Amino acid sequence: MRLTAIWPAALCVCFSAVLSAATPQSVAQKVLDRLFATNGNYQFKKPKLAISTKNNKGGAVYEPWRNTIFLDQKTYDICRTFGPDSLSALAFILGHELVHAYQAGQKTGRGNSNFLAYTQNYGADVRLEKSADIQGLFNAQLSGFQAIRIMPEVIEAVYNSYGLAGKNLPGYPSLRERKASASEVRAIAQNLLDIFTASNYLAVIGKYQLAIAGYEHILQYYQGIELYNNLGVTNVLLAQQYWNPRTDKFIYPLEVDWYTKITQAISRGEQSLDPALEPFRLDCLDKAAKNFRTAARLNPRYLPAHTNLVSALNLMGNPVEALKHAELHLLKHVRGKKKYKGPKQDLEMAEIALGITYALYPGGERKKDAESLFQRLSGSYYVASALYARQNLNSLHHTQSENVLSNLTLPDAFRQTLAAMQLGRTSDLERQALDANSTVFFAKKRDIESATYVLANDRGASLVSFLRFQNRHLKGVQVLSGNQDLSAVAYRNLLAARDGFYLHAKADHAILKLDAKGGVLEMVKYVVH
């Protein structure tokens, strides 16, 4: 299974090179397409995009009866002045209008949206505008754009260019009001992103209930496919605390969306499933399946949701149903009959889920298919795919009776760096409730090079703290390779993610976020209080 995580911002720099060479229409369309794909709600028709040269003083306008976003050429040119941040500026504006398209699909009324004129939009409801800002920013960040950072400068540049700065015009908030609103919105969006990241880490270290509280909190603001996917993955991992040797001996390609990867951290160590706990396990798996189905319904082309659902069905003891779903939604991509536009690792994770389905199929009649598939993927270019395939090939012929964590040892260079990472004082941080009953609280502190996240209970006692750093110094040091021999239980420290995976080094109280080749992107130190 795979988590969704937030991917590094280098994506925007790659796109920015096309600004000077391509037409405004094609550049803006690529940004809108990426925003729409990341949100993943294909139940609504993607709005068309048109570049307007009329300078309608809206910067960007969504017209529901045409289902079209009109972007001023002048606004596009303003975005270009931001250089490497050009596409992030454009993503902020288009993301705002895309949310209005979703809002229009959920309500009646034919009024336009207008990027600048808050009081003219959809019945003058400022809450809808703030919601559009929050959801648009969150969506843009998940898409790889640095919209939160660039937002205030974009607003000021647009106001100055349209001659609205320092003026009080009917229907338009003053620049001061707009910047004040932007400050509030940025804080909320950044907080949601931090909760999303912290929830992924919580899932990696086995704090599943806390992770679920975080994801469910975000769903109040943003209902994207990656939230449903990660919530489903976490419920599967929670179910796997209650071990079923027949199905759980395999390493499932549960993928989180970091866009984020969660590690399978099995904590209890039972050798078999206590019959009294089976209803709880099945309830968790049923919740997971419902979340995967929701993500797949929003976007039928979102392969991780189908892969994860196949895995959940297998864990529920339904390999026949799992194979039916795989034949409908995975085989056409795996066999190349329908071109898949996502990461190739997605396809290999789908194949691994298919291989496990073959292995569990009644009567053992598909065992050879599973063996052939695992043998082929054992030589994969992608580290997680190769490791998962090799271990599943071994599990196909041997019964794994253990359900304990075997620690993964990190290279000395990483251990020394992690040892130097010290959590500062966190008791004075401002905390916010994540759940309706105010039993789980979240706090954070952000610095230029690092971020601290804290989960606490309703008595003010810290439960888990994280300190995260981008890996800027040890990029050439290899932590894990695809041909490495790991013990079966060591795999419980890995959790696949889109374009990479997480590694949990329990002895070092650390999480490493790795790319598909095994390169370390981020280091996280944690303390369980």
Mean pLDDT along residues 19-42 = 84
Q: What's the CA angle centered on 394, arms 391 and 398, to 5 degrees?
A: 130
If asked whether residues 172 and 285 sit together in one domain, one would say no
**Which of 397, 425, 458 marks a domain boundary?**
397
Q: What is the pLDDT of residue 20?
A: 52
**Whole-angstrom distance, CA of residue 353 vs CA of residue 356:** 5
Q: Which has more pLDDT, 119 or 2? A: 2
pLDDT tens column, 121-157: 444 456 777 788 888 888 888 888 989 999 999 988 9
pLDDT at 65 over 70: yes
Q: What is the pLDDT of residue 106?
A: 59
If asked whether residues 39 and 124 sit together in one domain, one would say yes
If asked whether residues 93 and 225 sit together in one domain, one would say no
If asked whether residues 186 and 226 sit together in one domain, one would say no
Q: Does a structural domain hold residue 349?
A: yes
The pTM (predicted TM-score) of the whole model is 0.82
Domain with 179 in it: 2-193
- Mean pLDDT across the chain, nearest whole number? 82
Q: At what angle do helices 225-239 and 303-315 cross, to 10 degrees?
A: 20
Strand partners, 504: 511
From residue 423, alpha-carbon distances to 72, 118, 420, 508, 526 in Å are 47, 42, 10, 14, 8
Q: Does a structural domain hold residue 464?
A: no
pLDDT at 489 over 70: no
Mean pLDDT along residues 246-262 = 66
Q: What is the pLDDT of residue 209?
A: 92
If asked whether residues 324 and 241 sit together in one domain, one would say yes
If asked whether residues 252 and 383 sit together in one domain, one would say yes
Q: Which two tokens stand for residue 256?
A: 């989180």
If asked whether residues 38 and 154 sit together in one domain, one would say yes
pLDDT tens column, 387-423: 889 889 988 887 554 444 456 778 888 888 888 888 8
pLDDT at 109 over 90: no
Q: What is the pLDDT of residue 311?
A: 95
If asked whether residues 124 and 241 sit together in one domain, one would say no
Q: What is the pLDDT of residue 32?
A: 95
Q: Does a structural domain hold residue 78?
A: yes
Backbone angles phi, psi at 162, to 5 degrees: -90, 5
If asked whether residues 243 and 304 sit together in one domain, one would say yes
**Which of 193, 211, 231 marks a domain boundary?**
193
Is 256:200 a contact under the CB 8 Å cutoff?
A: yes
If asked whether residues 263 and 359 sit together in one domain, one would say yes
If asked whether residues 80 and 157 sit together in one domain, one would say yes
With cut-offs at 50, 70 and 90, classify the pLDDT of residue 340.
confident
Q: Does a structural domain hold residue 483?
A: no
pLDDT tens column, 284-297: 999 999 999 999 99
pLDDT tens column, 472-484: 777 767 787 777 7
The DSSP code for 47 is P
**Which of 149, 178, 193 marks a domain boundary?**
193
Q: Does a structural domain hold residue 213?
A: no
Q: What is the pLDDT of residue 110?
A: 47
